[in-house]
Amino acid sequence: MDIAKKFPLPEFTLLDGENHLGEQLEARTVLMHLPTNTLLEVLSVFPEEMKPYEMHNPFGFVFHNSDGEDENHILLLHHTQADADTLADIYTKAAKWYTNYALWIDEEIGNL
């Protein structure tokens, strides 16, 4: 049996830190790019608050939320098995994936 075909995994997923030990991620947002075992932390950071993160080589992105406001975010790399070129592509895809996720969450909240 081909496990990958029978039980396919998504390219990106969110880590859920809640378990029998309590909330392990303490409301943090961590994405995983499964094909490359890349772990990225997502932080909402205003441009004037970037200084502490600069040494970590953050990938910055801005998206327009459902209220039409700009939201500034960064991705911080925890771990990867990707080479530099692949990682550059993953950052772009992850920013797009997270933007779509955040807009979906906004829509779900709006439907309550």
Render pLDDT for 54-111 as a digit per residue (tens, 0 to 9). 889 899 999 998 888 999 999 999 999 999 999 999 999 999 999 999 999 988 887 7
> At which residue do the structure tokens 């797009």 appear?
96
Longest dimension (CA), the chain: 53
pLDDT band at 47 (very low <50, low <70, confident <90, very high): confident
Distances (CA, A) of 23 to 13, 15, 41, 43, 83: 18, 11, 16, 18, 32
Q: Contact 25/15 with Cβ under 8 angstroms?
A: yes
Beta-carbon contacts of residue 82 (< 8 Å; ≥ 6 apart) = 33, 36, 38, 90
What is the reported pLDDT for 27?
84
What is the reported pLDDT for 43?
95
Would you list the domain boundaries of the chain?
3-110
